[in-house]
Amino acid sequence: MKVQAPESALNVLRDILANNQDKPQNVRVYFAGFACSGAVFSLALDEELMSDTSYDLDGIHFIMDDNEYLTYGNVTISEIPPQGFVVSVDNPPQRDDGYSECGSGCSGCSGC
């Protein structure tokens, strides 16, 4: 597993970890489902499991389920202030329900 992220995103993650010392200190990358604009991957603080693969980047321990990693590949994290992070993978899943990646859109994004 490989994770790429700009220093600005890593600094935000370090702050989140420092402000949540009572929580697990691993950053989980996971497939969260589909939105109107396509596949959504997300981040969460979580315990590392035996079924996880991991990657350390500048003092941050990232984890991802082995099967998800084998399916989706390496991870790129971008920071988009003030909204948060955009998480992308090498091989994003495609919808299989007959709708295009953009779908018809929702009131929040107005399509693509």
Q: Which domains does the chain have, with CATH numbers?
A: 3-89 (2.60.300.12)
Name the percent of the chain lying above pLDDT 90.
Answer: 69
> What is the total residue count of the chain?
112
The dihedral through the CA atoms of 64, 67, 73, 79 has a sign that is: negative
pLDDT at 94: 81
> Strands of 38-45's sheet, edge to edge?
3-4, 75-80, 84-89, 38-45, 26-35, 60-65, 52-57
pLDDT in tens, 23-59: 999 999 999 998 877 889 999 999 999 999 999 999 9
Enter the DSSP assignment of 102. S
